[in-house]
Amino acid sequence: MTDLKKDLYDVTIMGSGPAGLTAAIYTARANLEPVVFEGSQPGGQLTITTDVENFPGFSDGIMGPDLMNEMREQALRFGAEAHMASIAKVDLSERPFTVTLEDGTEYKTKTFVIASGARARLLGLDSESRLMGRGVSTCATCDGFFFRDQELAIVGGGDSAMEEAVFLTKFASKVTVIHRREELRASQIMQDRAFNNDKIEFLWNREVVEVLGNEDDGVTGLKLMNNETEDVEDFDVDGLFIAIGHIPNTEIFKGKLKMNDHGYIMTEPDSSRTSVPGVFAVGDVQDWTYRQAITAAGSGCKGAIDAERYLEEAHDIEKHRTEEWD
């Protein structure tokens, strides 16, 4: 069983990426003594990222795990409580909310900040996982800069794939779009942008069956299968970008919070407030547009301030135990 310090918390934060840890820093500095559950991947997606060069404040860049460790230590220094545990379910039907961890530990919380993030859809290959961050990437905006004058491949056929392919041409000498069908599902305007770009080529009816390379040299090529003939061919490339969508980590909130058709939690405009008062969503769990560490951190700040104001409106920071919470 998880050894919690309290039976009732002011703030619970689910997730320990940039959004969750920023929310922890702000709520801890507000003397709200938040509890953070780090989940199965403490630090979020940045822990599988090598160099982070677009997070303000680090002129020489910083390793993804190092950045997340610094944010975690900052939150702990101000009084946040953190556990390497996962939340199994949350009862949002009455306040205070009841939280149950995977090991069966149960406690109550007055506010709940969801920062569980989203995970990129992957191809499911062992070689893909092994070379993630070493030539395989799920974020062109994050990693395109590292592939200047190199030949890249991108898997996908939707708007995001075309947008990332066009973006990668700012750095790469050539970008090859690999698609398992013989036509794209992207909008016409995005297709036109890709087709009209001299640096972009297309391979139709192809599927990546193996990523070639090693941890020292990175990606050196791909094995592609023609899904019409089942022939397998080697394809030389310096990097592989996966752009087949993201899956928000919101499964335990289905039927409890308002979501869009893709499972992202809906929040009020210019706010982290969800459809349930006292519950706030921050970071990639509610952001299907930007998905950057810095925007996630910014929304974590908003979630912390929204949670603090919610408690203030309940006169709970001063009184701590009001009739509403008893």
Catalytic residues: 139, 142-143
Query: Considering only CA atoms, which of 190, 293, 177 is closest in space to residue 240?
Result: 177
DSSP-assigned states of every residue in 69-137: HHHHHHHHHTT-EEES--EEEEE-SSSSEEEEETTS-EEEEEEEEE---EEE-----HHHHHTBTTTEE
d(CA 224, CA 265): 36
d(CA 184, CA 117): 28
In contact, 229 and 207? CB cutoff 8 Å? no
Tokens of residue 53, six digits? 């060069």
Name the strand (E) or helix (H) holding 10: strand 8-14
d(CA 279, CA 256): 11
Sign of CA dihedral 297, 300, 301, 302: positive
DSSP-assigned states of every residue in 204-264: -SEEEEEEEEETTTEEEEEEEEETTT--EEEEE-SEEEE-S-EEES-GGGTTTS-B-TTSP
Query: Considering only CA atoms, which of 222, 180, 176, 217 is closest in space to residue 197?
Result: 176
Residues whose CB is less than 8 angstroms from the CB of residue 309 and which lie 6 or more positions away in sequence, other chains included: none
Tokens of residue 193, six digits? 């942008």
Kindly list the distances between the CA atom of residue 236 and the CA atoms of 101, 120, 210, 219, in Å, as whole numbers in the listed order: 46, 24, 12, 9
